[in-house]
Structure 1
Amino acid sequence: MKHFRNVAAAVAAAALAFTFVPTSAWAATTTVHRDNAAGAPYSGKVRSTLIAPVSITTSLGTATCNVGQIDGTVQSNGTALNVTAYNFSNNPGPQCPNSAGGSSTVTAVGLPWTGGNVTYGAVSGGRDGTLTLSNVKVSSVTTGWFGTINCTYRGSGAGNSITLDAFNSDNPNRPVTTIAQAQAKATSYTLNKDGGSFLCPGTATFSATFQLLGETVAGSGVYNQKLHLTS
């Protein structure tokens, strides 16, 4: 009987402990919505469009482009963020000027880049989540005082990824407050050399700010759907 009472007490204690596990101990969830936090879940195509110049900096100088977009698709739970197009240029251009007295072009390698994600994770006074692009690889052709060099770089995170901070359209801390759209920002994110000339620096840093939009009508090619990220 004593043994039975001990077992019963242990079961009761385990049940009580289970009851009071704080919700924060559970894995956080992510939902991409249409319009706002009360909107329907959104799955489909997304477009990231530059709203501030992108810069890529190495020990040889800094190249800047003022026109650019990244196209892809995502599921409403933030998974399967896959990049299908990556285009940057400059106006006037189309090549992007650099501080070495020449120009630079950057081209995506190995599209589509699959396996990325959008993850909710609000930070007080800061971002609402993160946007991770996986399998990132780009090639560049750069001219300057050193001549012309060809280099290849990849993301420095797990799975050759890069991660940007994500902001909702109503977040007062979003990078460009005059634009009421979801936004993503990378600040001096490291890219690692993957190949190319011995003159290519071992690392480059990537900085850019984008607005994020989906399609109101799936398959229309018109990106006018406001997006919102929650848990």
Structure 2
Amino acid sequence: MRTRSCLALAVAAAATLALGAMPASASAPGQVAAATPVLTTGGAGGTAVAVGDVLVAPLASGTKATFYASATSTTGVTCGASQFTSRVTDNPAAPGTATESLTGQTFSSCTSNVTGVTSVKSLTVGNLPYGVAVSDAAGLPVTLTAGSAAPIQATAVLNSWFGTITCSYQLSGAFAGNADNVAHSLAFRNEHFVKSGGSGLCPGEGYFSATYGPVADSTQAGSPLVYVN
């Protein structure tokens, strides 16, 4: 009887030591590990980006934002600086689509090579905020959509030989691009706008291209880079 009691105590002690050696994050048998969200920081499968966090991205190093008269043209407006700012509104488990609200997209250091234009006063986007959807599907597609009341809009104010002129453009439907986990970037290529108002000197169409990155979570300490899982 005494031998059995000692044996039972030894088994219990060994079990206690084994449990104590398990990592705190290890799931007990039958439990499901927490799902990885679409957007994380610190690496793929890292820390979840919280709803309400503000994500920011400048133009990728060595690139410019362009607004050209056609998809194959190099005539139009070129900007050396731009900033993309959004707020996360939903970050579900992957696979899925995270959503954001684009609250700011600014442009500066802009020039134009359009005949008769002497300088660029401003290039702005209107009718913010826009909805942003970031999917972890193949190609990491990113889609911008306007609110229900107004379309996505871009307005250029230009100084010309004939005085100040304003050129307004709108995009019908979605504004599409792709994310990249290597450069932590968002790229948009030849997004097509149609002239909606302004001077007869303004081109009838505009094609917007830009690459923003790295995308960082400015709400978190150190502004860590953002990954799409």
Partners of 2:101 and 2:113 in 1: CA distance: 32
Are 2:203 and 1:201 equivalent residues in the alignment? yes
Offset at 1:163?
1.1
Amino acid at match of 2:168: T
Unaligned runs of 5+ in 2: 1-35, 147-151
Unaligned runs of 5+ in 1: 1-28, 91-95, 123-127, 170-180
Give matches, 1:39-58, under 5 Å: 39-43=46-50, 44-51=53-60, 52-58=63-69
> CA distance change for structure 1 residues 35 and 143 in 2, over 3 Å: closer, same or farther?
same
Offset at 1:196?
2.4
The counterpart of 1:137, out of the listed 153, 157, 173, is: 153
Contact 1:185 1:208 in 2 (8 A): yes
> CA distance change for structure 1 residues 201 and 116 in 2, over 3 Å: closer, same or farther?
same
Give matches, 1:119-134, under 5 Å: 119-122=135-138, 128-134=139-145
Partners of 1:146 and 1:118 in 2: CA distance: 43
* TM-score using structure 2 length: 0.67
Are 2:44 and 1:37 equivalent residues in the alignment? yes
RMSD value, Cα: 2.5
* TM-score using structure 1 length: 0.66
Partners of 1:206 and 1:63 in 2: CA distance: 9
Partners of 2:56 and 2:67 in 1: CA distance: 21
Contact 1:33 1:76 in 2 (8 A): no
Aligned to 1:183: 185
Contact 1:50 1:209 in 2 (8 A): yes
Q: Secondary structure at the match of 1:116?
A: strand
Q: Identity rate of aligned residues, in percent? A: 27
Q: Secondary structure at the match of 1:36?
A: coil
Asked which structure has the greater CA Rg, the reply is: 2
Amino acid at match of 2:179: A
Give the paired residue count.
Answer: 173
Amino acid at match of 1:57: Y
Partners of 1:119 and 1:49 in 2: CA distance: 21
